[in-house]
Amino acid sequence: MNITTYTPSENIHLIDTLHLGRDQVIGSYLLLGDAPILVDPGPTSTLATVEQGLASHGLGLGDLQALLLTHIHLDHAGATGTILARHPHIRVYVHERGAPHLINPEKLLGSATRLYGDLMDVLWGEFLPVPDQRVTVLRGGETLQIGGRMLDVRYGPGHASHHVVYIDQTSGAAFVGDNGGVRLPGSTYARPATPPPDIDLEAWDRTLTMIGELRPRLLCLTHFGPVFDPAEHLQSYRERLHRWAELVGSSIAQGEDDTVNLARLQELAVQELHDTPGEAERYEQATPLYQSWQGLNRYWQRRRA
Ligand SMILES: [Zn+2]
């Protein structure tokens, strides 16, 4: 199988990590140049596949100069400490709210274990701490120069309170992590990615507006691939996100119990599927529906409190 299946832009390549052997679920973006960069290396469980992707460009992990993390969820950032343990020269960029959990991951791993239980190791593999002297802490508003490449950083909460967006000045590519939802290649449908604990719809709206105002030429989604109609995507994603949130919120307002509430969201999600082979499985693997419901439910509970 050709691992690097997409070339969003010159010198930007998408490595398919083939998570659990399935394609088009989790991607990692390779930015080539005099100082190669990975945006979100993915989990440790797929690191060998990322290495094969790098090798197809004549590179190894040791050639990387920087890891840019959009946020620290395990499917995006899990391999960071493992890569650093092997190649301590690499610099890691992460938002200030995420950095402490990268350096001391106990709390992050505790909450992930509550979500994934016994599946932690199979899904993600090890999560090693990152040495603090290798971490550059971001707040949003910075411009990074890494080799000859210039990237603007914007704070982008909504999916996670420590999420940032990177915009490559040359290509106009915006690395939006999970802020643009989950959209499979060849489809225009974007499914909300709303896991606990941080979902904040008001912040997410502001983030989507901010991304649109940057007028990116393309959006680079982790799940999965480049999107070349940014304005349409941001608009339709915003609408769907609110549709999902309102369904969960109205269920709570009607006093329906969690089982009924979840079933209503499931019904909507099934209606929205287009029934292409593997589609339902990919969405479920990239963003399990039960977690999306939990995140939206928590959002409303917090608003009412
Ligand atoms: Zn995430």
| Distance from Cα 221 to the centre of ligand 1, integer Å | 11
* pLDDT computed for residue 1 by the predictor: 42
Cα Rg for the chain, rounded, in angstroms?
A: 18
- 215 CB contacts (<8 Å, ≥6 apart)? 172, 230
Mean predicted confidence (pLDDT) in 65-73: 98
Q: What is the mean predicted confidence (pLDDT) over 53-65?
A: 96
**Model pTM?**
0.96
Q: What is the mean pLDDT of residues 14-34?
A: 96
**What are the respective helix, strand and coil percentages of the chain, to the nearest 5?**
45, 20, 35
Q: Which residues contact 24 (CB under 8 A, 6 or more apart)?
A: 16, 184, 185, 224, 225, 278, 282
Distance 75 CA to ligand 1 centre (A): 7
pLDDT tens per residue, range 121-155: 999 999 999 999 999 999 999 999 999 999 999 99
Residues with CB under 5 A from ligand 1 (ion): 73, 178
Q: What is the mean pLDDT of the chain?
A: 95
Sequence ranges of the domains in the chain: 6-304
**116: three-class secondary structure by DSSP:** helix
Instruction: Specify the residue for token string 């060998």.
Output: 48
CA of 31 relative to ligand 1 center, distance in Å: 21
Lowest mean pLDDT among 14-23, 28-37, 185-194, 276-285: 276-285
CATH C-level class of 6-304: alpha beta
pLDDT at 277 exceeding the cut of 90: no
